[in-house]
Amino acid sequence: MSQSQRRSISSQFDREFVRGAIREIKLKNFLIYDNVEVYPGAHLNVVIGPNATGKSTIVNAICIGLAGKTTILGRAKDLSAYIKNGCSRASIEIELDGGDESNYRIKRILQRGSTTSSSWLINGKSSSQKQVEELVSSLNIQVSNLCQFLPQDRVADFVKMSNTELLSNTMLAANKDLYNIHCQLKVAQRKSLEINTDFSKLVDVLERERSLNAALERDVSNIEEREGYEQKLNNLKEKRPWVEYEEYRRLHIIQKEEKERVEQKYNEAMAMNLPTKQAIDSLKRQQTDKLTEFREIGQLVLNQSREVASVNEAIQSYSEKVNDVETTLKFKETQEQTRIKKLEAMKLQIQALEDQIANLEELNLKPEIELCSTEIKQLNTDKHELDEDIRALSGEKESKRLEIIALESELKKLRDVDSQKLNLVRKRDKHTYDAIMWLRAHRNDFQDVIYEPPLMTLNVRDSANAKFVENNIGFNDMKTFICLNAADHEKFYKKVREENRLLINAAVTLGYGPDHYQPPADISQYRQFGFHCYLKDLVEAPNAVLAHLCHLSGLHRIPVGGSRVNDFIDEIPNRCPGVSRYVSDTHTYSYKRSKYGARNVLTRSTDLRPASLLIHSVDESKQEEVNSKLKVLRQQDVDLTNRIKALSDKLAKVDQSLEQARQKKRDLIKKQGERKTVQEKLLLKKESLLLLEQEAVDMDAARADCNRQIEAIFADRLRELSNLADKTEVVMKHCKQRCVLGLQYYSLNQQVKQKEAELAEKSLLLIDLERELSEKKEQLSKTRDIAKRLQNEAKRTTGDMNKFPPEKQKVIKQLPSTLEELDAMIADVQARMDLIYVDNDRAVMDEFKERAARIEKLEKKMAGNNAAQTAHKDEISQLRDSWLPPLQEIIDKVNQQFSSYFRQMKCAGEVTLRVPPNPDEFENYGIGINVKYGDNKPMKELTTFQSGGERSVATVLYMLALQELSKAPFRCVDEINQGMDADNERKVFELVVKAACRPNTPQYFLLTPKLLPDLLYTERMAVHIVHNGPYMVEHSKWNPDSFLTTRREFSDED
């Protein structure tokens, strides 16, 4: 059929298209389509075709092309999954009816890249997704509402909707304003709860605050009375320092006047003593002159006495020189006597050595000495070789020791992985962790080994491959304990689950080993598609654990490849038999074949999640390899130790032999050189004798020289004695002059004392006056300091009284003006204060005032809350009145239609508004659907417990009942008839045709892989047959007229 024919058919009812209905759909490289155009009718559009030929693709295109989220479809979430395999770009173009305005043409372009991007056009102009969403919303299109748009993979979700969700979707479909009002009511309800809660808390707080302040009122009264006394006491204390200062200030004035009077008397007495003082001063000046002259002559005498002493020392030194000459002579005599004794002893020693030489024979021990030298040389060579061998072995032993340390460190790191895995299990599943720890403590309680979960025992050889393994094994399988027999399984399950109440998984193996699970083909046959191994090849685990995972997850049947795999998605299902699931570098792919028609392949892809469970792997083969190396190295270390010990023992024996040979050589050398040694000693003794004979001293000449030196010393001493007599005479002369000056100084001193005695007699009165004046000055200074201190202290504690407020100055002025009266009044006020006692009065008063202020604020706030509560209740009442009656009216209409449809099917059904016990709980309002299939069955709520066919009937009839109220321009139902029996399917189809093909009804899309024969048909229906797949007739060769003619001929023949 040509495009113009399709357009002419769809245009017969152009005037019946509602605003927002779909006029045209164009797809390019979208899912399984290269290029397709769909021209829906204004009313019922039945889309038929075998499974996996592209019916649901049209539904997917409507959703994605109108800015719907991929999660609505229940398929892949990534937009790249909707681009045809092998293509990098896809487009969806949808034309929507514009009513009285021009039609809207929305186009979405999907672009595959590192991240899939999309761009939008509205009527050929570039637009944003938000603009598209606003346009779709203005046309009341709701692809996210299951009451309007029900994709194939979401049919079961309709029944799973809660009563409240069904109510929301129904309001969105029938009257969006009611949905908005309901949202406002829910918000208002929550706000009302908050207001009531706040009001109740406010009342409680206000009552508590009032009660607390009432209990403090008596204490507050006492505090106020006490504060009055306290203020008076403060005033008294403020005045007291000023009164005390004033008293000292007046005392200072009096003492100053007395000091001036005594000072005048003192000056008069001083004038009477002036002549005597002048005479004393003259005598003291003469006395000073004499003393100066006396000291000068004394210094001269001192200098001359030092010269006399120096001459005396010189004379004394001559005696010492005589002693030195005599001592030198005696030393020479002693030396000569010693030399003679040594000479005699030396001659005796020479005679003894000559006798010893005569008794010694001439020996030739050179051959024996050379033989010892050869033996020593050989022993040194042996020792050197042994040292070299020991050093080499020690170096090798140290190398082995370092290797052992490195391997032990590596082994420790490998074993630490177990603790890291345990920590991960503890964080992810505490029950499984506790069960592992229990099993480790009770392993001996079971017949066979119970393997810990794959989380602990499964190791990925290369951590980069962990994501492939994790994405293909379920978490429940990863935390399953593996038992080898049923008895251990039952016992373990009872101990852990029943006694310890730990929620864990446990399974019994089938008894097969990993080799039982073989891949469908050798991986080399699949390398052309980018595969390099199977999942089983990436992991290590105990045989029972690996076999169990192969049985559950098919690790042996899932090939793994790189990015090249993505290029062969269309070829792999047909060219890799036995493979239904495979992994690329970014996705996990699975496919299934359709059970109808050409048995087309439907491929699903899932993004690979990053690894999080198997990031810590224990390389058991590596552990075994390290342990093996350690064992060999430790044995080698022991062998090296033994070899070193044997060589060390041998070296000790060589050292002992070497020392014996050296000692023997030393003895031989000593024996051969004994005669020669004695001859050498004799020669040395004769040389020493010759030296002693040459050292002889002439004692007569020495004594004559000593006498000459003594005579010269005595001549010099005589000259110094004459010089000493001259100097002594000069010193005596100056000593006499100094004695005369001393007598003159003493005479003047006596005269001064006499005059001072006279002055003292005259100054007795002056001294008394001076002492009195000093006392007056000291007394005046102290009084002035005290007054100044009191003034500063008064200013510091009270401030300047002249700056006090007038009222306070008046109060203070009325207080007593003497210290005695002030102190008496302070004691009286203090006593009155002490009689009024309130514990922690300042805190009590502050608490009372603060609470009083809070009470005032709370009362104002409560008055405001009362008004707000009343206003909010009025607002809720108005909203309820504008929401509940219209909603009930809609539910009644839906119920009327729904019940009518069920009666036509010889069944019963009703739709009710579920009102909560508290009518103000607007969040709990919902819609209930009750159905009854058969006369003998009770009415039951529609849930997932009904059969698939029963749920499908109720779903489609509810959507039909909602159709007359719905303002949506189109609705879509994908394969709703699956699971219905033939009778129900026919009845439902007829109801859909009658409801959807009436004038002024919105557009309806019904997708199905099959239809019953002889179904109801009207002119307002449009039947779209999907021609796609290798066994389908090409759309260009399909001729409906020829088909109908042939069909009539067969009917006539029948």
| pLDDT digit string, tens, across residues 57-78 | 888 889 888 888 877 776 777 8
Predicted pLDDT of residue 8 = 47
Quick one: CA dihedral 858, 864, 866, 868, positive or negative? negative
Between CA 797 and CA 801, with CA 800 as vertex, the angle to 5 degrees is 100
For tokens 């449809």, the residue is 901
Mean pLDDT of 622-644: 84
Token pair in block for residue 1019: 């002119």
Predicted pLDDT of residue 740 = 77
Percent of the chain with pLDDT over 90: 11
pTM for this model (two decimals):
0.43
**Length of the chain in terms of residues written:** 1054
Residue 994, helix vs strand vs coil = helix
Between CA 1050 and CA 1053, with CA 1051 as vertex, the angle to 5 degrees is 65
Close Cβ partners of 447 (under 8 Å, ≥ 6 residues apart): 485, 487, 488
Predicted pLDDT of residue 240 = 75
pLDDT band for position 14 (50/70/90)?
low
pLDDT digits (tens, 9 = 90+) for 477-492: 999 999 999 999 999 9
Enumerate the β-bridge partners of residue 559.
534
Of 622 and 778, which is predicted with more confidence? 778
Out of 127-141, 772-786, 959-973, least confident range: 959-973
Close Cβ partners of 34 (under 8 Å, ≥ 6 residues apart): 28, 84
Any idea of the CA torsion for 231, 233, 237, 243, to the nearest 10 degrees? 110
Mean pLDDT of 172-186: 81
In the predicted structure, residue 329 carries a pLDDT above the cut 70 = yes
Contact between residue 963 and residue 995 where contact means Cβ atoms under 8 Å apart: yes
